[in-house]
A and B are shown apart, each in its own frame.
Chain A
Amino acid sequence: MFELDQRIAEQLTEVALNSAVQVRCGNSNAFMVTASTIIPLMQMFEMGGVYISANRGAVEIIEAFESIGIDVSKIQFIDLVSSGILGGTDVPYSNIHFVDSPIMLESVLLRTLYILRTTTSERNFVFLDSVNALAIYNEDRILAEYLHTFINTFRQREILSVVLNVPDQTPPLVLSNLDLYCTDLIDRGQVVIH
């Protein structure tokens, strides 16, 4: 049975809408940490949101969520992966939007703002999955600049930003900037494998 990390929900009760939360995870617990973050945001705090996927195609993420009983109909997905695969954008979900590439960072920001302008939810989050995936395509300094812009854009609009990150795959400059910009840290980066 899939087990959620309940302490993440407890930590999320402490954050305000204009917060920026860095969620650190490892490779092996990334999905559990993601689900443990998304579920309370949707179910406890009744938020809608935008899930930016630079890590995997949105269909795969939706199916993973659905397999553990999460209804993602209130989440709009921005998929930065599938346009790079011919035929990857032919999907059965209407809540997936595509951006051509993870290097089109401004387009991701504008698409997110567009979705938030059309949403009916009063309280919203933006979940970025993940900084280390963006780091594959973007130089350190542009990624650091982008995260600065990204976080401040949503803080100003009182939209909760949640930034997922695998620290040992993230360049030091980006990591230190992320520590500086984010208001809260949920650290599940140290994974003990029994």
Chain B
Amino acid sequence: MQPAAVYTRDRCVTGIHGLDEILRGGIPYGSTVLAAGTCGSGKTTLGMEFLVRGALAGEACAHFTATEPSVKLLENIRQYAFFDMNMVDSGLINVFDMDVLYSWLGLEKASFELDDVHALIKAIVDIVNTIGVTRLVIDSVTTLCYKIKSEQLIRDFLFTLGKKLATLGCTTILISEITSATENAHWSSFGVEEAIADGIIVMGDVERMGHLLRFLQVVKMRGTAHSRAKHAIELTPLGVMLTPMLKWGAQSDKTSRWGS
């Protein structure tokens, strides 16, 4: 008897050392992935490397930054050997300041209503569609969602945005700032992002005898039989590097706000 053919989804190969192995080949195309992490855990570097690896493969990529000005972001990322400023000059990597986008849309206000949210979705989707973006990073969705006062509206915003980007074949990483990466913590600030996202990558620190070791753990990735183990990471000039965290050292030696 012939074995049944196994359906496998096409995947967006992240190009990040070790991550594609964890994800059994990459992120399913068109997925929206929440990269949730504590401060200094490497979220922005992971997001930028995801874009740069795409640009190296000739893909158009976009980065929406709400946490630091684009100039500062690019200065920080220039230290990495995998980054080349020509990627920006040639239009493969497009960095947008959310403040500038808000200004274009007349959204310079403290909080967003339903119409504002729809205008923002339309603007992001139009940019993605016009440039032909296949990889997108929003850094951070937490900062953006602080302007959306209703949990229901946040849910609608993320669901609608994710659906439209998936239709365009755009694989998206939403960076989420969290204060703790312990087992009992939420993996998002508002509690709704994690339910809507197709995937969740948690980043944080394990404290071992007073030293912080960065870790990354894929806790969810729809359509993927991925590893759910905790992996130690290093941010090197060649980009993010991962190795499985030692089992006897994967728990912090005391509960701290930094991680599990």
Using a CB–CB distance below 8 Å, which chain A residues touch chain B? 100-101, 103-107, 109-111, 113-114, 117-118, 137, 139, 141-142, 145-146, 149, 153
CB-contact partner of B234 in A111, A137, A146, under 8 A: A111
B241 at the interface (CB under 8 A from A): yes
Contacts of A109 in B (CB 8 A): 243
A–B Cβ pairs within 8 angstroms, 26 of them: A101-B211, A104-B213, A105-B246, A106-B213, A106-B232, A106-B246, A107-B234, A109-B243, A110-B232, A110-B236, A110-B241, A111-B236, A113-B243, A114-B234, A114-B236, A114-B238, A117-B238, A118-B238, A137-B209, A139-B248, A141-B248, A142-B248, A142-B249, A145-B246, A146-B246, A153-B243
The CA of A145 and the CA of B238, in the complex, are separated in Å by: 27
Chain A to chain B: the 8 pairs with minimum beta-carbon distance, closest first: A106-B232, A142-B248, A110-B234, A114-B236, A110-B241, A141-B248, A103-B209, A142-B249
The CA of A180 and the CA of B244, in the complex, are separated in Å by: 21
Closest chain A CB from B81 CB (angstroms): 9
Using a CB–CB distance below 8 Å, which chain B residues touch chain A? 208-209, 211, 213, 232-234, 236-238, 241-249
Closest chain B CB from A143 CB (angstroms): 9
Closest chain B CB from A159 CB (angstroms): 15
B209, closest chain A residue (CB): A103
Contact between chains at B209 and A101 (CB < 8 Å): yes
B215, closest chain A residue (CB): A106
The CA of A103 and the CA of B206, in the complex, are separated in Å by: 12
A100, closest chain B residue (CB): B211
Contact between chains at B245 and A106 (CB < 8 Å): yes
The CA of A137 and the CA of B244, in the complex, are separated in Å by: 20
The CA of A104 and the CA of B211, in the complex, are separated in Å by: 8
The CA of A177 and the CA of B243, in the complex, are separated in Å by: 21
